[in-house]
Every structure is written in structure tokens, then in C-alpha cells.
Structure 1
Amino acid sequence: MSTETENKEILRGGQFLVKDTDCNEIFTPEDFTEEQQMMKDSVKEFVDREIWPNKEEFEKKNYALTEEIMRKAGELGFLGVAVPEEFEGLGMGFVSTMLVCDYISGATGSIATAFGAHTGIGTMPILLYGTEEQKKKYIPKLATGEWFGAYCLTEPDAGSDANSGKTKAVLSEDGKSYKISGQKMWISNAGFANLFVVFARIEDDKNITGFIVENDPDNGITFGEEEKKLGIHASSTRQVFFNETVVPVENMLSERGNGFKIAMNALNVGRIKLAAASLDAQRRVTDLATKYANDRVQFKTPIAKFGAIKAKLANMATSAWVGESASYRAAKNIQDRIDIRVENGESHEAAELKSFEEYAIECSILKVACSEDIQNCSDEGIQIYGGMGFSADTPMESAWRDARIARIYEGTNEINRMLSVGMLVKKAMKGHVDLLGPAMKVADELTGIPSMETPDYSETLSEEKAMIAKLKKVFLMVAGSAVQKFGPQLEEHQQLLLAASDILIEVYMAESAILRAEKNAKKNGAESQKYEIAMAKLYLYNAVDTITMKAKEGIVSFAEGDEQRMMLMGLKRFTKYHNQPNVVELRTMIAEKLTAENKYCF
């Protein structure tokens, strides 16, 4: 464990809402080690050489090419970044795992899905829950790309309600094996997978159980045709049918009835990695849109000179930069927590499981934010290209289609929104996050007399940091009152939960951006970070608008009379700027930097 990790207090999951974070305590991409920078460069070089030139082939549903690219990625070690060296992996930390997932995913959603399904939900359940024998037998093959993995959870009647699956596992009379029968759907990598992590129910157990199943067509395993999909055309997606497929009892994954827990913890990892997999796609879309805007001349002027296009480019670049800021902040928190647990004597597997579970709130936040940002980014990319953007001859059309799935898998964004608030409330009830104390202080503040003192905002981003603190009060005001009013029945009020989660998401994303800009400004001088500071300010301005709207929606849904008026007055106070930023100027500044560099340059 590094001295840096020992000397700083690492916030627990969800505590960002109630505790101040010093900018020097967060990790940013500017803090990549030399080893991580080399890994980033090698992945980018691989993508530019092997994947980007073949985009047209991926759109022709060339599944064999996807398998070939995956095998090459395995030969270069990219599939085994998170796997310990004893199992033929590189044994690198979680930040490096995120970094590879980020940069290998940018060129096409087909590779992003194949890579994520294999390295995440196809490999990690065995690595984290498998016996030593299971890990020795299977992980080296998965880490090197000799074998590929797939994850069989979803069924026709079991999607978001994952524990309701009907696939059965029946113990043989001699007690040596199980026979698995059932239907799984939307299985990524099914067409070339050698190994499946399959979830089935034993007898009438309350919870499902996980099994490691080798792909053997002579063992009752058959496949549906490749699915016809909106996007990710070269990602092999098939139904998998098990008909009394014999699985040795020693291939049960973890304990009987532990499958639901395995599935949920695998999704925590998958969610933050999905956020990472959205980042380079945003950079590349912004890069292409910038180049096109510089080259496309209308009314004798490059369209990059028009204010409407500048606004789009600035927002696209800002979302990419903010998503990156928040994703690597959370990744390093997870890695530090793993290191501390290992230092305290826990096995690496147990440390990873508990650390991912610890930051499940942040994982859900990032999944929602980054998946929606890449959709918006690609949509604006089409708009900048105009009619050409709608053509399959340009990359924007496939980028938009590929982005759409990200809001659905690893738990829909609606599920993740409700989960983020629900998990936070549960943490509060367990005493892991003190929401009650800060919420009561906010309630007292609502009835108190506001300070008339003019604050000192002379330091870089000092007003923005003060605004973040006030926005946290908005969440505490709305969520605190809602919990007090509805108690355990809060989960039944889904629209209120969705509004509260949007406030939570915007707070985390905006704070991550402000802290990154502040940290690097202190280190390198504010002038060197002026564009990053502009993006942090622009994102915060938009976040304030979103939070104002969502908080108002939530307040009027459950508060009436004097209580409603008091909360709406508090909302106005908590979202008021002292010095309103000139957002037109901010957008123009960011866009002109992009067009001058003719690329995404942040």
C-alpha cells in the first residue's frame, strides 16, 4: 500500500454527499503513472491499427473479426489486466483495468461489448467466487484469450428481476452432477464462447445458484440465431438453450443459493466499467465532429465558426471530460479500498468484492451519467454532420446506434437511478453514512435567517465549491423530507426517487469536475488549466439547472402549504449564484480551443 493511500482519508461509498473532499485527495488522469501511460498508449495504438480501420466490417456483422480482435487483445495481455500473475494475468490495479476498458472501447460498440462481457461478467465471477481449483483450471485460459467467456443470467421473463429466472438445476441420483435445463437470452459472446457462467435454481430455492459450464454441443447446449439488433452489429448475441446439460458438482460457483449475490456484485463492477467504456467513444465522436465542423463550409464559412455549432462542441467535450474525471476518481477510491483491505489481511478476492460493494452507489451514478452522455454526444455528432450524419457512410450513425444499448444493460438506467438513492438510504440506516445529522441541519437552516455577509470568492473555483456544498443541501432537503414522510414506503414512489437520483448524480459529477480542475490548477497554475476550469464551470451551471428542476418536481410531489413554500424558498437560496457565469463565453472558449487544435484535446 502506498504512503499516499496511508496518509489520506478515503471516503466510504456515498459519503461524498455529507463530507468535504480535498482536491488533493482525488485521483485524476493527470496522475497516471508512467506504466499506466504506457498501457494507455499501447491500447490506443492497438485500436487505431486493428479496430478503427475495420469499422465498416463490424457494421457488416463480421463476428469472426470480433473474435479475431479479441484473440489479439488476449495475446497482448489486455484481457488479463485485472487477473493476478499466478493465473497468467498482468496483476495490475483497478485504475489500470478501467484505463484499458476505456481506450479499447472507443472505436466500436461491438468490441466494447465483447471485451466488457469477457473481462467483466465472463471472467470476474470465477476469479472472485471460484475455488482455487476452478481458478487454476479456467482463469489462465480466459486471461490469455485462449478461451472466451459469456454470462447467462437474463431469461425471457427475468430481466431487471434477475432472481426470478426459471432455469433449473437438478442433482443427479449419484450426487456427482447437476442437469441444467432452461433458456437464456441476450447472451453476449455466445457465438464464440468456450465457457458460460450460468445461473439456475435448485429445487424451490429462494435464490438462484451459479455454475461454470463448458460449451459442449454434445452436452445439450444449443443456440438461437444471431439477434438482429439496432446496434453493436458485430457483437455476437444469441439465445442459449440448456437441455439437461450435465455439470459436475465441483463446477458450482460459490455456495448453493449464492447466485443472486454473485450476479449483483458482478453488475457493480460492470457498471463502472461500462462508464469507462463510454469515455473514449465520446472523445472520438467529439474529435470527428470537430474535424468535420472545421472542414464543412456553408455560407462561405466553416460551420465551426457558428455559435450554434460551438455550443454543441463545447457541451460534447465537457461531458467527456467530466465523465472521465468522475470515473477515475471512483476507480482510485475502489483501488485504495482494496489495497487497505489486503494490507489488513483479507484475501484479494474478498477485498475486491467488498470494495466494489462499498462503492455501488458511485458505480450506479457513473453508469447512468456516462451512458446518457455518450448517447447525447453521438446525437449531437449526427446533427453537426447534418444530412451526412444520417448516412451509414459516416461513423456518426453507427456511434449513435451503438450508444443506445448502454442505457439498458448492466441494469437499466431507471433501475440504477432508484438503486443509487435506495442504497444510500440503506447505508444511512446502517450508520455507514450519516444522512440524518446533515439533513436536520439543513432543515434548521430553512427556518433560520440567511447570512447577509458577502462571501469571499477570490480563490480559483471558490464560488463553484460553495455551490457544490449548497447543492448537497438540496439533496438532503428533498431526500430527508421524503424519507421522513414515507419511511420504508419510499421505494414505492418511483418518480420521486428518479428526481432525487438525478440530483445525486449531478452533485457527484459536478463535484468531480470542480475538484479535478482545482487540483491541477493548484499544481500547474490556473492559466494552464483555463479550459478545464471553463468546462468545470459549464458543467456546474447546467447541473444547477437540472437540480433546480428535479428538486422542484420532487418537492411539489409530497409537500404542501407552508412546508412546500419553505422548501421552495430554500431551493431558490441553495441554487443561487453570487456571480452568474457567462455560459456563452465559456462554451465559445472551449469550442475555439477544440477547433484550433482540430481534435478533442483535453
Structure 2
Amino acid sequence: MADIEKDILRGGQFLVKEIDCEDIFTPEDFNEEQLMMKEAVTEFVDREIWPKKPQFEKKDYALTEDVMRKAGELGFLGISVPEEYGGMGMGFVSTMLVCDYISGATGSFSTAFGAHTGIGTMPITLYGTEEQKKKYVPKLASGEWFGSYCLTEPSAGSDANSGKTKAILSEDGKSYKITGQKMWISNAGFCSLMIVFARIEDDKYITGFIVEYDPNNPNGITLGEEEHKLGIRASSTRQVFFNDTVVPAENMLSTRGNGFKIAMNALNVGRIKLAAACLDAQRRTISESVKYANERIQFKTPISSFGAIRQKIAEMATNCWVGESASYRAAKNIEDRIEIRKSEGKDTHQEAELKGVEEYAIECSILKVAVSEHTQKCTDEGIQIFGGMGFSEETPIESAWRDARIARIYEGTNEINRMLSIGMLIKKAMRGHVDVLTPAMAVKDELMGIPSFDTPDYSELFSEEKSIIKNLKKLFLMVSGAALEKYGEKMESQQQLMLAASDILIQIYLAESAILRAEKLAKKEGEDKVKEQIAMAKLNLFHAIDVIETAGKHSIISFSSGDEQRMMLMGLKRYIKYVNMPNIIELRNIIANKVISENKYCF
């Protein structure tokens, strides 16, 4: 465990430290148990979900409930639940893996699964008393009961703590009466348990409650009609109304006023799990698109031979592989941090897991944004490859595009998550958890000095790319440091600057993850055997630089002027500079050749 502690970075430290490829976890590092789990989940999806896509699209809520129950019978709903409460007690990487591969066939089931296993079950396993966990968690882990999460209200969306639902303590102190309205509640139509957030008296923060629901004895609970949505059509989504709903006092979750903290920590886990849930959706979209491109003949040739289509396939595959690289890197960091805290004996299992995930809240927000946007782009390009057929409900691509859209909204909108990633980084820097100030000052001194005109030796694989990533980190520190110096505590009100800074941060994390994964693979397998992965890592970095250059330039010219502006624009130019510019078309062709020849996403 000491070796793990020595090598593992704290959340956000990737920005200020160099990382060796051997110190990151990749999907190629899955152990035998994880590979067996992946196979079992994939077989389940291919049998129970993928062939029934048309039924899900016809809003067959009963089908969603039925498949969820089957998933429970196979143990998939209890992967992360400790064994003493009826689960499998598997580590964080394994829970990510199951969430990944069980979620790709349809967003309807993915949403039901995520809402139940995450925000429907996890708050009890992490915050519940021993009595609460013994009473409720085994039923949730087995699929006997399903859970839902009642936080959002008409006036409380992104501002979750502004909810107006009230909880009033009875005179004898034995129960609370909850009254209020919740909306967009996933699984509401078939749940037996609700995690409900309400305010007691005029408390500053909301409080969580475990509320049982039996439609035959509704206890003041009324459900609205099923919402008719753009996507995730067979995911049960309803409003829930509470009218003097009586809840035993012992069903308070954690302590009074701790609801906001519960909600935020649940969202941290939800964000990285949402990234995982978007990965197999991309793999399946790519595979379907490639199959169609290989079969579709135009001008007497398969359209997969056309450069315009090959470009799309290469970019889709690259985004998927890069998102996967970053997601599992972060998942293993979280798992290791949990194990470190447990081994130290200071924390209970629940405390260790909470603090382990909270440590990487920055990375969780980064991944939620990046992978959800990759998925939307992937499904959009999938429709384009299918052409007119892609616009038809007869193909699986049309529903995939609609399902993808919600991923940029729930678990906190992407705009909120972008600003959160920067806000949390600033807070970590203030607390001394991530030393941003020292390297930022070093960058400032470097910019004032005379640049070296020596041509570096970039003969080793990725030596130039890793040098560029190091410089991109300097660029982030230069821009964000100068902005922070100017605005200080008012920085959080500069939302457009924070959005730009987050774009830079996101691209750095993903680009570094991809380069390190490809380097690790090349050392293990040999460069010739992984030339496609090398090409994807290089192609992604090229695109990352474009995004970073734009975000950096927009920021610099917006908050600086005169000599300071000229110096930073020169620094921007210096830090994004290639010595050996990659041949982008060649890289795309290397990737496309492999995917097209395999007739599926194959990495």
C-alpha cells in the first residue's frame, strides 16, 4: 500500500506533476475477474436489451422494470454494495466497468440502472445507519426494490439547496411530515424507495430522508403522469408530490442539514459513472456506423472507402478511446485512494469511499463533460454516415442521438461542471492540496526570460508529445494565474473565463491520459502492434491544441492589455508549438483502416 501511496496523485495534481505511464491504470490492465464480468454484462445486454430497442423506444416502461429485475437477479445491481448488505463488494474500477458495458444499448435502461445503483442506493450505503443499511440495501441490491432520488424541484435545479419541500417534526418527535413537489424523478413509476431532500424549519441546508413508497398505501405521495421526453423514452420520469407524507424520524439520512453534502457527493460519483455509461454507447454507435458504411454502395464502391467517411470513423473511434483512457485512469486513482484510507484504519468503509471519490471531484467533472460531449458528437456523425436512413426510427442511430442529449444535462449541466472543475481547483490550491502558485510563478519567470533556440531531440516515441503536454500545463497556469491575480475572489463571477479555463483543463487531462495509455501499450506490445492507438493519441493531442489555443487566446485578449497581453500571447504561441507537425490525414487513415477492416470498434 505504501507503493500505491507514493505513486498516486491527489485530485487535480495532474496539472502540476509529470506522470509515468507505468503509474496509470488502463483497460488493458483489467484482471481476469473484471474481464469475466465484462463478458457477462455484454452477453446480458446483447440478449436482453439490444434486440428490444424498438420496444424501449415505444415507451415500454414495464420492459425497463423487467430487465432491471433480471439485472438484479444476476447481481449487476449490487456490484458496489458491500457483501454484508447483499452485494458483491467489488472495487471502484469494477463498478465503472459494469456501468460502462451495461449502458450502451439504450439510454432508457442506462438511466434506470444509473439512478437505482447510484443515487438511489448509494446514499444509504454511504450515509445510512447500520439499521438503515440492513433494512433497505439488500432489497435494493437484489432488485426486489428499486430506488429513486428526489432532489430537483421546479425552482431548484442547478441550485439544489434552494428547494422548498418542507419536513415538519411531529409533537412527539417520532416522525416528520414531508410536503412539497419534486420533478424529473427517474424510476418514479416503479420505485419502492425514494431518497427525498427537504428543509426542516429555516435550516440553511436541506436534509435527506429515506421514504418508502407503496402505491397501494401511498401515504400522501402522488405521482404525475410519465413525462414525454426527447430521448430515454422508456425511462420512467415523473413528478412526485408529497402531501403530509409521514416518515419515521429514524429514516433521516445522516444528520440534520447534511442533505446538501449528501447530494453533492452523490453527484461526484454520478458524474464519473455517467462518463462510463457513455462509453459503450459510442462503441456500439461506431460499430453500427462502420457496418453500414461497409455495406452501403454508392458510385459502385462502399462508402467506407471515401475519405469523408473515413475521417468521421477515425475521429469517432479516437474520441471513444481517449474518453475510455481518462475514465479508467481516474477510476483506479479513486479505488487506490479508497484502499489507502481503509488501510490507514482512520475511516470506515463508507468514509473511505466518500473521501476517495471527493478527492477526485475535479476529474469527475472533467470526465462528465468530455465524454458526454464525445457521445453526442459520435451519435451525430453516426446519423450522418447513415445519411437519410440515420434519420429514420428503423435504425438504432436515431434513438442513440436522442438518448445522448440528456447526458449533457443531468448530474449537473456541462456548464455547471466546467465551472465546478475550476472552482474546485482554486479551492484545492487555497488549501494547499495542489500547489499551483509555485509552478505558476515559475512560468511567469520563464516568460520573462530568453527562450532557448536549441532544437530538442524528439527521437523517442511521444517525447515531443509529452513535452507539449508539459507546456500546455504551463499555458493553463499562465492564463488562469493571470486571471486569478486580476479578479481574485471575484473570479467565480467571470463565468466565460472559467468556461475557457475548464476547456484547457479538460483537454490536458484527456490528452495526457491518451498519450500515457498508448505509451504503456507500446512498451508492452511493441510500437508496430499498437500503431492505431499511437495514432489516436497523436490525433487527439493535435485537436486538443486547437481547442486550447482558441480558449487561451480568447481569455488573454479579454482580461489583459498592453505588454502583459503581448507577453502572454507570445507565451501561448510558444507553449503550443510543434517541432514535428503530425500528418493528420495519415493518422486518420491508420485508425480508419483498422476499424473498417474489423467492421466494428475494435480497441
Within-5 A mapping of 1:461-476: 461-476=462-477
1:317 corresponds to 2:317: yes
Counterpart AA for 1:113: T
The corresponding residue for 1:502 is 503
Equivalent in the alignment of 1:5: 4
The offset of 1:454, in angstroms, is: 1.2
For residues 159-208 of structure 1, give each alpha carbon's deviation from its aligned partner in whole angstroms, at most 9, with x where no partner exists. 00000000000000111000000000000000000000000000000000
Within a 5 Å distance, the mapping from 1:535-550 to structure 2 comes to 535-550=536-551
Tell me the equivalent position of 1:525: 526
2:87 maps to 1:89? yes
| Cα distance in structure 2, aligned partners of 1:303 and 1:175 | 71
- Post-superposition shift, 1:4? 5.9
RMSD in angstroms over aligned alpha carbons? 0.7
Q: CA deviation at 1:216?
A: 3.0
Q: Does residue 28 of the first structure (1) align with residue 26 of the second (2)?
A: yes
What residue number does 1:408 align with? Answer: 409
Q: Which residue of 1 aligns with 2:581?
A: 580
The correspondence for 1:127, drawn from 101, 106, 125, is: 125
Quote the Cα distance in structure 1 between the aligned partners of 2:59 and 2:549: 44
**What residue number does 1:39 align with?**
37
Please show how residues 51-70 of structure 1 align to structure 2 within 5 Å.
51-70=49-68
Paired residues for 1:121-520 under 5 Å? 121-217=119-215, 218=217, 219-345=219-345, 346-520=347-521
Partners of 1:119 and 1:242 lie apart in 2 by 24
In structure 2, what is the Cα distance between the partners aligned to 1:33 and 1:347? 26
How many pairs are equivalent? Answer: 600
**Cα distance, 1:50 vs. partner?**
0.4
Q: Which amino acid aligns with 2:486?
A: K
Counterpart code for 1:304: S
For residues 9 and 23 of structure 1, what CA distance do their matches in structure 2 show?
A: 11
TM-score (norm 1): 0.99
Q: In structure 2, the residue corresponding to 1:191 is in which secondary structure?
A: helix
2:246 is paired with a residue whose SS is: strand
SS in 1 for 2:367: helix
Q: How far apart, CA to CA, are the structure 2 residues paired with 1:96 and 1:552? A: 41
- Hey, what's the Cα distance between the residues in 1 that align with 2:556 and 2:253? 46
Q: Which residue of 2 aligns with 1:564?
A: 565
Structure 2 CA distance, aligned partners of 1:260 and 1:186? 18
- Tell me the TM-score normalised to structure 2 length: 0.99
Report the Cα distance in structure 2 between the residues aligned to 1:572 and 1:584, rounded to whole angstroms: 24
Aligned-partner Cα distance in 1 for 2:470–2:592: 29
**What is the CA distance between 1:456 and its match in structure 2?**
1.1
- Cα distance, 1:5 vs. partner? 2.8
Counterparts of 2:429 and 2:483, CA distance in 1:
14
Deviations 1:422-459 (A, max 9, x none): 10011000000000000111111111111111111111
Moved over 4 A (4+): none
Gaps of 5+ in 1: none
Distance of 1:447 and 1:64 partners within structure 2: 66
* Secondary structure of the structure 1 residue equivalent to 2:189: coil
1:62 Cα deviation from its structure 2 partner: 0.3
Equivalent residues in 2 for 1:70-89 (5 A)?
A: 70-89=68-87
Letter in 2 for 1:316: M
What letter corresponds to residue 222 of structure 2 in structure 1?
Answer: T
Distance, in Å, in 2 between the alignment partners of 1:595 and 1:147 is 44
- CA distance in 1 between partners of 2:19 and 2:78 (Å): 33
Name the residue aligned to 2:554. 553
- Percent identical pairs in the alignment equals 75
Displacement after TM superposition at 1:226 (Å): 0.2
* SS across alignment from 1:20: coil
Taking the aligned partners of 1:517 and 1:589, their CA distance within structure 2 comes to 15
One-letter amino acid matched to 1:408:
I
Deviates more, 1:331-340 or 1:293-302: 293-302
Q: Deviations over 1:479-520 (max 9, x none)?
A: 000111100000000000000000000000000000000011
Partner-residue secondary structure (3-state), 2:310: helix
Q: Deviations over 1:367-398 (max 9, x none)?
A: 00000000000000000000000001101110
Structure 1 CA distance, aligned partners of 2:307 and 2:445? 45
Question: Aligned letter for 1:313?
Answer: I
Matches of 1:453 and 1:519, distance apart in 2: 29
Corresponding position: 1:17 with 2:18: no
